Amino acid sequence: MLPDPIIVEHEGSLVVRDDLLPGGTKRRAMHVLIDDTHDEYVYASPVYGAAQIALAYTCRDYNKRATILCAQRQTWHPLTKQAADLEAKIIEVPMGFLSNVQSKAKAYCSAVASRKLMPFGLDDPEFIAALANVARQMPVTPTEVWSITSSGVLSRALQQAWPEARFFGVQVGATPNAGRCETVYLAPEKFDKDAKIRPPFPSNLNYDSKAWRFVKQYASSGALFWNVM
């Protein structure tokens, strides 16, 4: 049983501090994608992504094998090293454009029936519903919600949980499926660059941190920001 999300006020905004949960937000719902049929769970990950850590923790929790495919680098990204430290198998892909990494992951899974390819961004209805249920049980009913919209999965889950709230997102990569976000702002930093304006709490510098400048500038007092990791 994972601990409930912790909410802390920072500079006038309520922040869900899932940086305090090893593995971050995605770990809270990933168990619904684990089944009795598969022994190995495979994910094609950007080296900066939190899902590789969430998968490593979840597989360890359920006595399964995690395998991460990512772009080959001279030195592993700290998140990739952390996944390896959690006993995830790391497969580096030369010419590691994400489309190539995804193709290699698909081929790796098709070779063995007991391997399961996890959807990119964990964009799965069951995962989204499980994450929405986590938010729904929290002791808050926010009227304004902010998050990174990389794939848009988190925002769409929170939209299910709090249908009356207004939603805003910050895009850090390709155009997301952000559901009914009123506005999706574009982070000025390139995807592989750290956030220039950082929040006053630990946060993924390639993802969630890039939203903070927009929260500070545009969010209403008391708005909720979800920090994934």
User: pLDDT tens across 99-134, in order?
Assistant: 999 999 999 999 999 999 999 999 999 999 999 999
The two beta strands, 89-93 and 115-117, are unpaired
Domain 7-22+123-227, CATH: 3.40.50.1100
The string of pLDDT tens digits covering residues 190-207 is: 988 999 999 999 999 999
User: How far are the Cα atoms of 28, 54, 169, 183 from residue 2, in angstroms, in the given order?
Assistant: 7, 12, 26, 32
The pLDDT assigned to 96 comes to 79
Does residue 217 contact residue 193 with C-beta atoms inside 8 Å?
no
Q: pLDDT averaged over the chain? A: 96
Would the pTM of this model clear 0.85, i.e. be above it?
yes
Architecture field, domain 27-121: 3-Layer(aba) Sandwich (3.40)
Reduced to 3 states, what is the DSSP secondary structure of residue 87?
Answer: coil
Question: Residue 146 and residue 53: Cα distance in Å, rounded?
Answer: 23
Rounded Cα gap, residues 32 and 224, in angstroms? 26
Ranges for all domains in the chain classified under CATH 3.40.50.1100: 7-22+123-227, 27-121
pLDDT < 70: residue spans in the chain: none
Q: Are 127 and 156 in contact (CB under 8 A)?
A: no
